[in-house]
Structure 1
Amino acid sequence: MRDIVTTVGDSLAGKTALENATMRHGLITATAFLALFVSVPALGGVKEGVVKWQASDYKGAVVEWMPFAAKGDPDALFNMGQAYKLGRGVPLDKAKAEDFYRRAADKGHAPAQSNLGILLAQRGEKAQAAELWQKAAAKRDARAQYMLGVLHFNGDTLPKNWPLAFAYMTQANSAGLPQAGRALATMTASLSPADRAAGSEMAAAMTAGDKLASSGKPLLAPAPRKLTNTIAVEKPQAAAPKPAQSTAAPAAISPRPSAAPGRTVVTNTDIPQPRAAAPAPSAASGGEWRIQLGAFSQEARAREAWTTLRREYPAIVSGLEPTYASGGAMIRLQAGRFANAGDANAVCQRLRDTGRPCFAVHTN
């Protein structure tokens, strides 16, 4: 099947596109999509800087952020990185921008991890970029989830894994990232029903995973949190930009979108779309079947989840052996062994009837 998108390397070759995308994945405002970013409680000066930035008082914003950045506040560090990246309120300095991104990323700031990943990928450091995107995706960063979905789908830098790619893209799409919806449509048309079903189950397991360990019950994704200590950046323009009133739709990957009324939309052509997949291979002979029960950010939480399942559903999981498989930034809780897919699916169905996420996986 023909390639419908470029690879990561091809996409990152365009310097201007990368710079625009880095600007577009900008300082955060309180919107439905960006509200999923995990952030520390806002400090007064950081919020005041946001207000000044939205009023086009860039120098005033930088003055507010600088002392908090000096104290290591991750939002202030990230915002300073954006200021140096755009040359607003300070001289344009990409080296300083990267330094601020890295310092915020080291503190677990998901948008900073995503932005730093873009800069590293531009330099060809795609393995390091993937690690950062994995960390950000574990914090529900939709842009990072999208990138991991692309990498796993294409087998670029990360192992080709179509169900996992579908899961990451499903999460990014649920967060409201428009290009994720288009990529998900491509995957849906390309993958087998079994791969799509496994990916959907995996996405549900990722969402419920960390909640399962502490509560013993699968929960819906948390309600969006309103953030006020970071802001969105429009493309630099002669006139002072207006404060963002709603989520600025991330630009289509290909072709470039037209500008929305009253705003300049910056394209994200550095972000690749998945290539159309070859026909799904049949299951390999040999190996064994297991059931996957969740995906967790820490192995300890996976072990707690297994303890909960054994306590609450001994009639279903008794006799099964748990395994804790590492998959990027996530630990996959699996249990087995089963002689065939039918036996594994039968146990999964009993667990799904209780509201637990579960799907069968074949291992070699």
Structure 2
Amino acid sequence: MGPKSSLLLAGVAASLCLAAPLAASVKDGVDAWSRGDYEAAVAEWQGPATQGDPDAQFNLAQAYRLGRGVPTDMDRAREMYRAAAANGHVKAADNYGMLLFQEGKREDAMPYIRDAADRGDPRAQYILGLAHFNADLAPKDWVRAYALMTLSHAAGLPQAASALTQMDSFIPTEQRQMAQSLAAEIKTASDARRTAVLAQADLAQPATPVEDATPRVPRRVATAPIAPSNASGPSYMPATAGADFVATPASSSATQTAPAPVPAVRQAAAGTGPWAIQLGAFGVPGNAEKLWSKLSGRPELAGAKKIFKPSGKVTVVLAGGFDSRDAAGTACQKLKASGQDCLVTRN
């Protein structure tokens, strides 16, 4: 082995000696954090963070955000999240995007929000779903909006249930049904992407990061209903919490009036025929009951039977028992004339 080869091997050995203490230092900090010794943890992470270790940078960001071991310092936390994200730390990128959004820097935040949503983050799916619904920072796409909000709701984000309830009032039944298929496609793709990204991150980041106490999307600070604004969907203003939204007042065009009475539809065998009218599809089951309670007394549905049919993550509401397609079609036309969306189907 020549001198040149010896020098190369010596360089490799030196780099390994440097890498091992660095990783150990980050891990020592995690152990200290787990014991509740936050000051010791921060001390362990300072050096590696300065040298560009993304785990140490992320953990320091958490410490500064939570005020553990150091005074709360959101500016410092933001900078550490940004540095860790630039070094490929996925959770840091997610938190950085959330902080930017909460601080009102929404355009800067959206690339991070979209990337997090693509990996199945329910907070990001909630924000991106609202963006598509409002045509604000994203193209108007009510099918994708409902799909993203459905996934966020399924993941347990409380705000998503409220958003779905309001979306149910404006998104047509057909689009909500399309959203269920799209939600399944998005989930499959996001699961695959998240697995690939986290596997890659595990290879690059051997140290276990500190607990993921990530910022939560604040609860809605207003209970005003969503109201479509012209043709582009509802509009929102960021609330003081940043990631929250306050609905703008409903326009006069959104005011709903009671439908005028219409003649009952004759049925040869009320409640027993094979045809049905689909009245809605809801991500929140309680809304299905509300719709049936609202419409069951209508003369067009006299003698019809209530049918609730599960379809993926939604409950489909049907009025069944029409003896012919024409009878169901006539009833549906009268419902549409009074403002109630519907479609004829064979049960």
TM-score by length of 2: 0.48
> Larger relative CO (CA 8 A, sep 6+): 1 or 2?
1
Q: Which has the larger radius of gyration?
A: 2
